Structure 1
C-alpha cells in the first residue's frame, strides 16, 4: 500500500470532518444549547456505529464505483483523492460552494472516462438520487412544520426542545447511514476490503474517528460563522422540523444505497420549514448555492479526475 495514498486518505477524512461534521455540530450547539462535547460525541458514534451494525449500502455503492474508476490500484485511488481534494481547495480559495460527495462522484466519472469505460447507469442513478435529497427534505419539512405549528398546549416548548434533541440524534444516525459512508468506501478500497469487513476493521474505525474529530475541531469556528449567514435563522420549532425532515430524507436515500448530501438536505429542509408568510426571512441567494455547487463541482472534479488519470496513473504503473 503506497504511503502517499494513505496520507491522501487521511487528509480526505479530515476534510470530511471539517466540511460535513463541523456544520452539523455547530447547528446542534447553537440550537440545542448543549455542552460542546455532546453533539460531536453522538456524531462520532453514529459514523462508525451505524456501518458496524451492518448498514453500509451507500458505502458499497460508492466503493464499487471507486473500484471501477481506480482499477483497484493504489495509484488509481490516489488520483481520485487528489482530484477531490483539489476541487475542494479551489472551491474554498474562490469562495464557490461545493460538495465532497459530488466531487467524489465527478472525479470517479472523469477517471472512468479516461480509463475507457464510463459506468453511466450507476453514475446517473447516484446523481439523480443525490439531487432528490434536498427536494425530499423540503417537502417533508413543509409537512412536519405544519404539524408542529398546529400543536398547542402548556408543554409545547418542552416538546419542541425534546424534538430538537431527538432530531439531532436522528440526523447523526442518518449521516452515519448515508453521507458519512463515503469515508468507509474510501478506506474499503484503500485496504482492498468489502464494506462489511472495513466497517469492523479497527484500523478503519480508529482512523475515521480520529480524522473526523480533527476536522470538526478545525472547522467548527468557521461553521458557526457560516450558520449565522445561512439560508434562514430558524426558530426552535423550525430547527426540530429541519432536523427530522433532513434525517428522514437522507435515511430514505440510505435504503436505496444512494449517497445524499446531509448539508444540502438540511438547506432544503430549512427552506421548507419557513411558512409562506415568512418567506421574506429566507435568504434566497444562499439557497442558490446548492445549484451552484452542482454546476461547479461535477464538471471541475470530472476534468481533474480525467486529466490526472491520463497523466499520473501510467507513471504509477511503471
Structure 2
C-alpha cells in the first residue's frame, strides 16, 4: 500500500507538471498577443521574454496556491485519486480548447475539475464554498475590471497625447509596450503557475497527512512549476495568439500598452489577495475595452461572444469531467 501511494504521488507530480506545461503554451497569447499584433515584438522574441518572466513571476508568492490546494476542498478530502481526476479533466479541456483556438481559462478548468472530483468523492457538502466564492468573484469581476480599466487608461492616454504627432506616439509606445508586455508575462506566471503548485501540494498533504500550519508549498514544487510553465510558453499557443491578438480588434502600440498595463495591474492585485483569475479573461476583456474607446463597431463582437461562451461552458463541462473521471478511476482501482 505505501508503494502504491508513493507511485500515485509521483504520477500526480508528473501529470501536474504536464498540466503546467500545457497551461504555458495554451496561455502564451496572454503575454504576447498584443505586442505581436502591434508589431512591437517579433513572435520569437516575445515568446522568449514571456517564458523567462513567467518563471520569475511564479517565484513571487503562494497565496493563490493555498486557495487551490486547500480552499476548494479540505485537506482530508483532497486525496491523490481526486487530484489525478481533476488534473486529467483540466488537461482534456485545455487540449480541446487549444485545438480549436478558443482562449478558455486553464485556471477555471482546473478549479472546477477539482469541484467535480470533490463532489464525486464526498458530495457537495465537501466543497469549501468560501474558496468557490473567491474564485467566482474573480471570474465575474476580473473581466469587468479588465474592460473598464483598459478603457479608462486608453481615454487618459488619448487625452494626454492628443496634440502629439501620431508617428511620435507610436515610437514612444512601441518602447513602453515592451515593458507592459513584460509585466503581463510576470503577473501571468505569478497567478497561473500557482495553480499547479497548489494541486501538487494538495497531493503531498494527502500523502504526508499535513494539516493546518503544516500545509505549505515546498520550494522544489515552486521551482518545478515555474520551470514547467516557462518551457510550455516557449512552445507557444499560436492558434490562441491569433484569436486574441488579431481577431478581436485592430491594435496599435498605444492600444497594446493600455491593454497590458490595465490587465497586469488587475492580475497582480488578484495574486496578492490569493484570488485565482484567468489571464485570458482579463486580457481579452481589456482588448475589447480599448476597442470600445474608438467606437463599439471597432470590436468584433462575434469573436468576443464566442470567447464569452467558452468561459461559461468551461464551468459545467469541467465539473462533469472531474466527476466522471473520478468515478471511472474509482471503479477501475477501488481507491478513493
Say whether the fold is shared (TM-score over 0.5). Answer: yes
CA-CA distance at 1:139 after TM superposition: 0.8
Structure 1 equivalent of residue 194 of structure 2: 181
Structure 2 equivalent of residue 142 of structure 1: 151
- 1:70–1:77 Cα contact (<8 Å) kept: no
Structure 2 equivalent of residue 248 of structure 1: 265
- Distance in 2, matches of 1:196 and 1:48, equals 20
Structure 1 equivalent of residue 3 of structure 2: none
Structure 2 equivalent of residue 305 of structure 1: 322
Structure 2 equivalent of residue 205 of structure 1: 223
Residue from 267, 278, 285 that aligns with 2:295: 278
Q: 1:30 to 1:140 in 2, by over 3 A?
A: same
CA-CA distance at 1:239 after TM superposition: 0.6
Structure 2 equivalent of residue 125 of structure 1: 134
Unaligned runs of 5+ in 1: none
- Distance in 2, matches of 1:170 and 1:267, equals 16
- Distance in 1, matches of 2:72 and 2:131, equals 11
- 2:54–2:229 Cα contact (<8 Å) kept: no
CA-CA distance at 1:242 after TM superposition: 0.3
CA-CA distance at 1:135 after TM superposition: 0.5
- Distance in 2, matches of 1:293 and 1:272, equals 19
Q: Which structure 1 residue ranges, 4+ long, deviate > 6 Å from structure 2?
A: none
Structure 2 equivalent of residue 153 of structure 1: 164
Q: 1:215 to 1:45 in 2, by over 3 A?
A: closer
After TM superposition, the score normalised by the length of structure 2 is 0.81
Which runs of structure 2 are paired with 1:216-235 in the superposition (5 Å)? Answer: 216-227=233-244, 229-235=246-252
- 1:56–1:195 Cα contact (<8 Å) kept: no
Structure 2 equivalent of residue 52 of structure 1: 59
- 1:26–1:220 Cα contact (<8 Å) kept: no
Q: 1:126 to 1:11 in 2, by over 3 A?
A: same
Q: CA RMSD in A?
A: 2.9
CA-CA distance at 1:96 after TM superposition: 6.0
Number of residue equivalences: 314
- Distance in 2, matches of 1:35 and 1:97, equals 21
- Distance in 2, matches of 1:57 and 1:31, equals 34
Q: 1:298 to 1:190 in 2, by over 3 A?
A: same
- Distance in 2, matches of 1:174 and 1:112, equals 29
- 1:65–1:108 Cα contact (<8 Å) kept: no
Structure 2 equivalent of residue 317 of structure 1: 335
Which runs of structure 2 are paired with 1:165-176 in the superposition (5 Å)? Answer: 165-176=178-189
Query: In the TM superposition, what whole-angstrom CA distance separates every residue of 1:206-238 from its partner, at most 9, and x where no partner exists?
Result: 4542x3344334434324433465211112211
- Distance in 2, matches of 1:204 and 1:253, equals 19
- 1:58–1:254 Cα contact (<8 Å) kept: yes
- 2:30–2:279 Cα contact (<8 Å) kept: no
Unaligned runs of 5+ in 2: 1-5
CA-CA distance at 1:146 after TM superposition: 0.8
- 1:183–1:208 Cα contact (<8 Å) kept: no
CA-CA distance at 1:97 after TM superposition: 5.4
Query: In the TM superposition, what whole-angstrom CA distance separates every residue of 1:243-271 from its partner, at most 9, and x where no partner exists?
Result: 00111121222232111111111111111
Structure 1 equivalent of residue 119 of structure 2: 113
Residue from 85, 95, 108 that aligns with 2:91: 85
- 1:107–1:304 Cα contact (<8 Å) kept: yes
